[in-house]
Amino acid sequence: MKIKQSGIIGLGAYVPKKIVTNFDLEKIMDTSDEWIKTRTGIEERRFVEKGEATSDLAVEAAKRALKCANVSIEEIDMIIVATCTPDYQIPSTACVVQKKIGAINAAAMDLGAACSGFIYGLTVAKGLVGIGTYKKVMVIGAEVLSSILDMSDRNTAVLFGDGAAAAIVSEVEEGFGLLSTHLGADGDLKETLGIKSGGSLHGTTAATLEGKEHFLRMKGQEVFKFAVKALPTATLEALKLANLKSEDIDLIVPHQASRRIIEAASKKIEVPMEKFFLNLSKVGNTSAASIGIALDEALEKKLIKKGDIIAITGFGGGLTFGSIIMKWCY
C-alpha cells in the first residue's frame, strides 16, 4: 500500500479578549513585571471570561481553519482535540466541538499529551490520512489553563494563558507537507508537572480541595533541564528522518514556554534565534494550543511561504516531547 503524503492545508487560531498583564498579577500575588519578564519573556496572557470553555475556543479556531483551507464542515471526517483542560471528563471535548460546529460526518476523540498535544495530534492525523482511513482530519489544540491555576502560586500562575489553534490535515502534493515526526516521553518524570487529584487514583474530596490539589503544580528546574535536552534531541531526530540538516530550516516554531528554554535549544540545534518565531510575550504558555497559535501568527505575518522548511517542536506534562519537520504547502 502506497502511503499518501499529508500536510496542513489550513490553519486558524483564537485567543480570548481578556488581557491579563504582569502588572495585573502584581496586585494579587508576590511577583513583579520585571521578575516575570526576566525569567520567562512573558508580558501578558489571555484568560477566558466566566462561562467560556475549552470547546468554545476550539470552535472559533476550527471555523477559521476551515475558512483558510476552503473546506466545508461536511468534509471533515475526524476531529482530534489535544487538551489537558477538557470541558468534562466525559464526554470528550472533541465530541462537544463536533456538535457545536455541525461536523456530522466526523469521528471525534481527545488526546492527552499536554503541551506536546498539537504535535502528537498532527502525527496521528498524518498516519490516518497517510493510510487512507480518513481524508480530512481536524487537529485542534485548545486550553483554558486559567481554570486549573492557583493564582497565589507564582511558579505556575504567571506562565500560562488560554487559547486554541486548529489545523486541517489532508493529502497534499508529493514532497510537501509533514515530512517527518519524532515523538518521545519520559514517565519517570511524571510528577514534575501535573495535577495531583481529580483522577481515578486520587479522587476529588473536600480534603483535596482544601489542600488545593486540583490545581496545576510544576517543579520548574526539573522541567527546564528536561526541556533543554528534549527540544534539540527531538528536532535533530526529526531532521535526520527527513534527510535534512539544521541549516535547511527556514523557521522554527517552538512551544512557547520560556524564552530561556528556547535560547538554550537554539544553541544545541545550531540554529540562530532569528529563525525562531516567538509570541509568548503576548499570550504566555497556552499548552497544546501554543505551537498552533504561533504558527498561525507567523503565517499571518507572511514569515512562511510555500516550499519553506518549517520545524515545530515542543514538550509537556508526562513528560512528553516531539518535533515535526514540514515543507509548507501553501
280 in any annotated domain: yes
Range of the domain at 22: 6-176
| pLDDT for the residue numbered 194 | 85
Q: Please give the DSSP secondary-structure letter assigned to residue 133.
A: S
Asked if 156 and 201 sit in the same domain, the reply is: no
- CATH code, 54: 3.40.47.10
Asked if 191 and 153 sit in the same domain, the reply is: no
251 in any annotated domain: yes
Return the beta strands (E) in the chain as ranges. 6-14, 18-21, 44-47, 78-82, 107-111, 136-144, 162-171, 177-185, 193-194, 217-218, 251-254, 309-316, 320-327
Beta pairing partners, 188: none
> Which residues does 131 contact at the CB level (< 8 Å), separation at least 6?
1, 3, 4
Asked if 188 and 110 sit in the same domain, the reply is: no
User: pLDDT per position in the chain (330 positions), as tens?
Assistant: 789 999 999 999 999 999 999 999 999 988 899 989 998 999 999 999 999 999 999 999 999 999 999 999 999 999 999 999 999 999 999 999 999 999 999 999 999 999 999 999 999 999 999 999 999 999 999 999 999 999 988 889 999 999 999 999 999 999 999 999 999 999 988 888 888 888 888 888 888 888 888 888 988 889 989 999 999 999 999 999 999 999 999 999 999 998 999 999 999 999 999 999 999 999 999 999 999 999 999 999 999 999 999 999 999 999 999 999 999 999
320 in any annotated domain: yes
Relative to beta strand 136-144, strand 162-171 is: antiparallel
291 in any annotated domain: yes
Asked if 245 and 206 sit in the same domain, the reply is: yes
Chain position carrying cell 482530534: 80
Asked if 25 and 168 sit in the same domain, the reply is: yes
Chain position carrying cell 497544546: 288
Q: How many domains does the chain have?
A: 2
| pLDDT for the residue numbered 198 | 87
> Could you say which of 111, 143, 176 is where a domain stops?
176
Asked if 137 and 261 sit in the same domain, the reply is: no
* Entry pTM: 0.96
229 in any annotated domain: yes
> Which triple of cell numbers denotes residue 109?
476523540
Asked if 252 and 143 sit in the same domain, the reply is: no
Q: What pLDDT digit, counting tens, does each position of 107-133 carry? A: 999 999 999 999 999 999 999 999 999
Greatest CA separation for the chain: 61
> Could you say which of 159, 176, 193 is where a domain stops?
176
40 in any annotated domain: yes
d(CA 48, CA 27): 19
Relative to beta strand 193-194, strand 217-218 is: antiparallel
Phi, psi (deg, nearest 5) at residue 214: -90, 5
d(CA 200, CA 217): 18
Asked if 58 and 140 sit in the same domain, the reply is: yes
Asked if 202 and 149 sit in the same domain, the reply is: no
| pLDDT for the residue numbered 142 | 98
> Which triple of cell numbers denotes residue 75?
468534509
Q: C-alpha dihedral over 311, 246, 320, 11, to 10 degrees? A: 0
186-199 CB burial, b ≥16 within 10 A, e <16: eeebeebbbbbbbe
Asked if 105 and 229 sit in the same domain, the reply is: no
The residues annotated as belonging to the active site are 115, 255, 285
Asked if 171 and 182 sit in the same domain, the reply is: no
Relative to beta strand 162-171, strand 78-82 is: unpaired
> Could you say which of 151, 176, 201 is where a domain stops?
176
Asked if 165 and 185 sit in the same domain, the reply is: no
d(CA 188, CA 40): 25
1 in any annotated domain: no
> Which residues does 211 contact at the CB level (< 8 Å), separation at least 6?
none
